[in-house]
Chains A and B, each alone.
Chain A
Amino acid sequence: NAGVTQTPKFQVLKTGQSMTLQCAQDMNHEYMSWYRQDPGMGLRLIHYSVGAGITDQGEVPNGYNVSRSTTEDFPLRLLSAAPSQTSVYFCASRIGQRGRETQYFGPGTRLLVL
């Protein structure tokens, strides 16, 4: 198993540009989520999905869109990038939606918005 994979590893954008961060998992996990990590703030939940076709907002959803057309993939879209979205983004998956299950993280995407 490859686990949770993310692409790209690093990206530079100009303000106003759009892009999609890719996330895929091969563990047949129902639950997938996106976090952003900023210095001194831990990880904050952006969006999550409890299965194909079902998504919902986390703590900091503004400026981001998601969709879940398959169990494996959960892309995160920035429609109009802003400098405040400079961060490290982590995708994660776990087998169920309950907070008791172990969550597995991808290697991260480092995004710089100029």
Chain B
Amino acid sequence: AQSVTQLDSHVSVSEGTPVLLRCNYSSSYSPSLFWYVQHPNKGLQLLLKYTSAATLVKGINGFEAEFKKSETSFHLTKPSAHMSDAAEYFCVVGDSGTYKYIFGTGTRLKVLA
């Protein structure tokens, strides 16, 4: 069975410092992995996705994530946080064999001035 775990429910960083949002997954199949961002009272926007091509995936707004099969991880990083990055971030695993798209419980990122 597939599952995804976001290891931190809240993360606070200072503006200009690196961001690390952690995600571990479990999947019986070759997974597809996604990161979505949700700004307050908004819908979900795709940041990036991994579908078995390059293990380092670059997304929008300077975010990137690295797929590590040995660690079953897909952590999201950004070298320098901006105030506009404050939002909730969801790690999602998609089963390539079925319709399923499993969401993590989310990590709320706070950026301090």
A interface residues with partner B (beta carbon < 8 Å): 31, 33, 35, 40-45, 48, 50, 90, 97-108
Contact = CB atoms under 8 A, between A and B. Distances in A.
A32 B35 CA distance: 19
Given A40-B9, A41-B105, A43-B90, A99 B43 contact: no
A102 B49 contact: yes
Contacts of B31: 99
A105 B44 contact: yes
Interface in B79-96: 90, 93-96
Contacts of B34: 102-103
Interface of B: 9, 31-32, 34, 36, 42-46, 49, 51, 90, 93-101, 103-106
Which 5 residue pairs spanning A and B have beta carbons closest together? A99-B94, A42-B103, A105-B44, A99-B95, A107-B43
Contacts, number: 61
A101 B46 CA distance: 11
Given A43-B90, A100-B32, A106 B43 contact: yes
A42 B104 contact: yes
Contacts of A42: 90, 103-106
A97 B43 contact: no
Contact of A50 (B93, B95, B99): B99
Given A42-B90, A105-B44, A107-B43, A99 B100 contact: yes
Given A42-B90, A90-B43, A98-B96, A103 B104 contact: no
Contacts of B46: 102-104
A37 B31 CA distance: 23
B43 A40 contact: no
8 contacts: A40-B9, A48-B99, A97-B98, A98-B96, A98-B97, A102-B46, A103-B34, A103-B101
